[in-house]
Amino acid sequence: MQASEDPALRLLVWRVPANAARLLAAFFEAQKHPGDWNAPDYFLRLDTPFDTGFGYSRALKQALHASYLGSQSALREQGVELGWPGPGPSHPDSALGVVEVLDSFAAYHQVHLRYLAVVLEPERTTSGDAFARWMDAALAAAPSPAVRLVLVDTHEDPRWQPLLERHAAIARRIEPPLDMFDIARETAAQSGGAGPAVAYRQMLSDLMTVLERGSATQLAQRVERPLALAQRHAWPDQQVVLNMMLAGGWLKEKQYPQAIASYRQARECGLQALAVQHPAARDLVMQSWYGEAGTWFVAGQPGRAAETYVAAAKAAAEIPNPMFVIEGYRMAAFCLAQDGQREAARAHGLEAIRAAKPLPPADRRTTTLPQTLQDLLLLQDRPRAQKLEQCAASYLQAVAALHAQAEAQAAQLGPRPDSAQLDRIEAALHAGFEQAFHRVAHERERLIQGGDAFFRKVVAVGREFLHPTWNGLPDIRHPLDNEIPAWTEPPATQPLPDPSALTGSATTTRDTQAPGRSGLTEATA
C-alpha cells in the first residue's frame, strides 16, 4: 500500500488487465472482513448508479449510511465504537456534501483506519462526462487527508486517464501486477498433491496462457500431452475441453477448417461422455455444436451455419435448456435471412417463439426471444422495423438532453444547492422523461398499426410473452419504473391481431404463412 502513502493524494486509479477486474473486486470485498490479508485502510465499494450529479450525491450518502447501519454487528465484534451520526441536513446533495460525509466518517473512526478508500464503480452511468465532472467537483471540495477516492479502469480501456492528468498533483495510478493467466498457473503449481489430476491442472493452466498469448500451432503442439493424459485416464469431458480450446485457437487465426475439425472432435468426445452417463455430457455436446455453427458463420457460409445452429437447438432441447433452444433457432433464422432464404428464416424464427412458450414471462425476458421478435419484424418489413429502432435512438437523445439541462440548472446553484430548488429541478426532469416516453410510445404504435397482419402479430407475441406494452427493440420501459396505473397517460397500445397462429404448432403456422412484401397493408411510414 506504499503507493497511497503520499499525504497529498486524494484520487487513486487502479489500472488492471481486463481479465483481472473480478480479482480486484474480490480484493476490495475481502477488506471488509478481518484477517491477515487486510490492508490498513478501510475499503468501501459503492456501485450506486449515476443518473444526475445531485441524484448520485444523495444516493451515495444514503448508501454509505445504509452500509454503516448494516455492518454494526460486525463492527461491534471487531471492537469498533459505534455512534457515527451519518449524513444530516447540513450535507447538501452535491459532490461537496458527499465529501463532507466521508470526512466525517473518517474522522469519527480514525482510530481504526489509516485511510478511508471509497471505491466508486457505478453499475450504470447515464453520462461518462457528467460523472467525470462530478469527480472534478469532489476533488475540488478538498477531501481530508484521511480520504481517498478510488476509481478502476483497465489497460484495454484507460477511461480515467484524462482525470488523472487534470489532477496530477493529487492523483496517482496504481498498476498491481495482476494477470489471471499467471495466477491460474501459479495456483495450479502451488495446489500441492500428486498424481495425474494435479499434472493435468498444471498443463491446463499453461494451455490457457498459450491460447491467450501464443499461436494456434503452438497450442496444437502443447495440447498433445494433456490430451494423451485425458485419454489414458478416460476423461472424455476433459477431452472435450481441450479440443474446444484448440478450436478457439484455430478460430482466432481464422483457420476455419481446422477449427471445425476440432469442434467435431470435441463432439465425438462429448458423445463418449454421454455413453458413460457423464452429467455434463449433453451440455458439452451442445457447446460443440454452437462452436461449429459460429465458425461456419464467421467463415461466410450462413447456410451451413443455419443447419448447425438447428442441430445445436436440438441438442439443447435434449438437456433440456430452453434458453439455448431459443438461441439456436434464432441464429438459424438470422443466418438464413443473411442467405436470402426468407421463408425458411421465418419458419425457424417461429420455432424459437414456440420454444419460449412454456417459460414464464420473467424467464423469457432473459433469453434472446426479444431479439428473435425484432429479427422477424426486420425480415417482414425492414424499413418499418428500422424506424422503430430509430424512435428509441431519438428517445435516448431526448433523455440525454433532459439530463444535461438538469445538470446545468443544478450547477448554477453552486456546491451547496438548496434542496427545495433541487426538488423542483428533479420534478421537471421526471416530467420531461414521462413526456418523452409517451411521445415515443405513440410514434411506435403508429408505425406498428401501419404494418401488415404478420408484422402486427409478431408485436402481439411480444405483448403476450414479454410485457403488455412491448413495441420493438430497443425496449423502452417506463423511465421511472412506474407501474401502468401510476403513468401520467394511459398506454398508447391499440388492439392487435390474435397471435396464436404464430405461437401454435408448426402445422398451424404453415397454414397461416405470412405474406411477402407485396402483402403490406400500408406504405411504410
Examine the pLDDT at 1 and tell me if it is beyond 90. no
Helices (H) and strands (E) in the chain, counts: 23, 5
Residue ranges of domains in the chain = 2-181, 194-300, 308-371, 382-409+432-503
* Confidence band for 524, pLDDT divided at 50, 70 and 90: very low
Q: What is the pLDDT of residue 517?
A: 44
Rounded distance between C-alpha atoms, residue 57 and residue 128, angstroms? 15
Q: What is the CA radius of gyration of the chain?
A: 28
* Confidence band for 186, pLDDT divided at 50, 70 and 90: low
Show the CA angle centred on residue 457, arms to residues 486 and 335, nearest 5°.
115
Residue with cell 487465426: 253
**Span 361-371, mean pLDDT?**
97
Task: Strand 171-174: give its sheet, edge to edge.
Answer: 42-46, 116-120, 147-154, 11-16, 171-174
Q: Which residue has the higher pLDDT, 1 or 428?
A: 428
Of residues 491, 504, 513, 497, the one with CA closest to residue 451: 497
Give yes or no for a contact between 262 and 240, defined as CB atoms under 8 angstroms apart: no
Task: Give the tens place of pLDDT for each residue, 20-69.
Answer: 777 777 767 766 655 443 456 788 999 999 999 999 999 999 999 999 99
Phi first, then psi: give them for residue 158, nearest 5 degrees.
-80, 65
The DSSP H or E segment spanning 43 is strand 42-46
Task: Give the tens place of pLDDT for each residue, 215-272.
Answer: 999 999 999 999 999 999 999 999 999 999 999 999 999 999 999 999 999 999 999 9
DSSP 56-90: HHHHHHHHHHHHHHHTHHHHHHTT---------TT
Rounded distance between C-alpha atoms, residue 524 and residue 439, angstroms? 20
Examine the pLDDT at 422 and tell me if it is beyond 80. yes
Rounded distance between C-alpha atoms, residue 195 and residue 212, angstroms? 27
Give yes or no for a contact between 493 and 468, defined as CB atoms under 8 angstroms apart: yes
What grid cell was written down for 177?
Answer: 501486477
- The least confident of 38-52, 101-115, 236-250, 404-418 is 38-52
Q: What is the pLDDT of residue 74?
A: 81
What grid cell was written down for 376?
Answer: 422477424
Helix (H, G, I), strand (E, B) or coil at 346: helix
Residue with cell 476433459: 238
Of residues 484, 468, 491, 454, the one with CA closest to residue 373: 454
CA dist 191 to 31, 187, 188, 197, Å?
24, 6, 5, 11
Rounded distance between C-alpha atoms, residue 405 and residue 331, angstroms? 42
Angle between helices 281-298 and 322-338 (to 10 degrees): 20
**Span 193-220, mean pLDDT?**
86
Give yes or no for a contact between 438 and 471, defined as CB atoms under 8 angstroms apart: no
What grid cell was written down for 370?
Answer: 426479444
Q: Is the dihedral of CA 523, 332, 388, 457 positive or negative?
A: positive
Give yes or no for a contact between 80 and 112, defined as CB atoms under 8 angstroms apart: yes
Q: What is the pLDDT of residue 32?
A: 61
Examine the pLDDT at 425 and tell me if it is beyond 80. yes
CA dist 101 to 81, 93, 141, Å?
18, 11, 12
Give yes or no for a contact between 434 and 480, defined as CB atoms under 8 angstroms apart: yes
Q: What is the pLDDT of residue 520?
A: 39
Give yes or no for a contact between 14 and 151, defined as CB atoms under 8 angstroms apart: yes
Examine the pLDDT at 350 and tell me if it is beyond 50. yes
Give yes or no for a contact between 421 and 413, defined as CB atoms under 8 angstroms apart: yes
- Note the CATH architecture for domain 2-181: 3-Layer(aba) Sandwich (3.40)
**Span 510-519, mean pLDDT?**
47
Examine the pLDDT at 104 and tell me if it is beyond 60. yes
* Confidence band for 313, pLDDT divided at 50, 70 and 90: very high
Q: What is the pLDDT of residue 23?
A: 74
Give yes or no for a contact between 402 and 480, defined as CB atoms under 8 angstroms apart: no
Q: What is the pLDDT of residue 39?
A: 53
Q: Residue 118's beta-bridge partner residues?
A: 44, 149
Query: Do the strands 11-16 and 42-46 form a parallel or antiparallel pair, or are they unpaired?
Result: unpaired
DSSP 173-192: EE-----HHHHHHHHHHTS-
Rounded distance between C-alpha atoms, residue 314 and residue 291, angstroms? 15
Q: What is the pLDDT of residue 176?
A: 81
What grid cell was written down for 291?
Answer: 462452436
Show the CA angle centred on residue 255, arms to residues 253 and 261, nearest 5°.
130
Show the CA angle centred on residue 197, arms to residues 191 and 199, nearest 5°.
70
- The rounded mean pLDDT for the chain is 91
CA dist 91 to 54, 118, 425, Å?
12, 18, 18
Task: Give the tens place of pLDDT for each residue, 275-298.
Answer: 999 999 999 999 999 999 999 999
Q: What is the pLDDT of residue 510?
A: 53
- The least confident of 231-235, 363-367, 438-442, 504-508 is 504-508
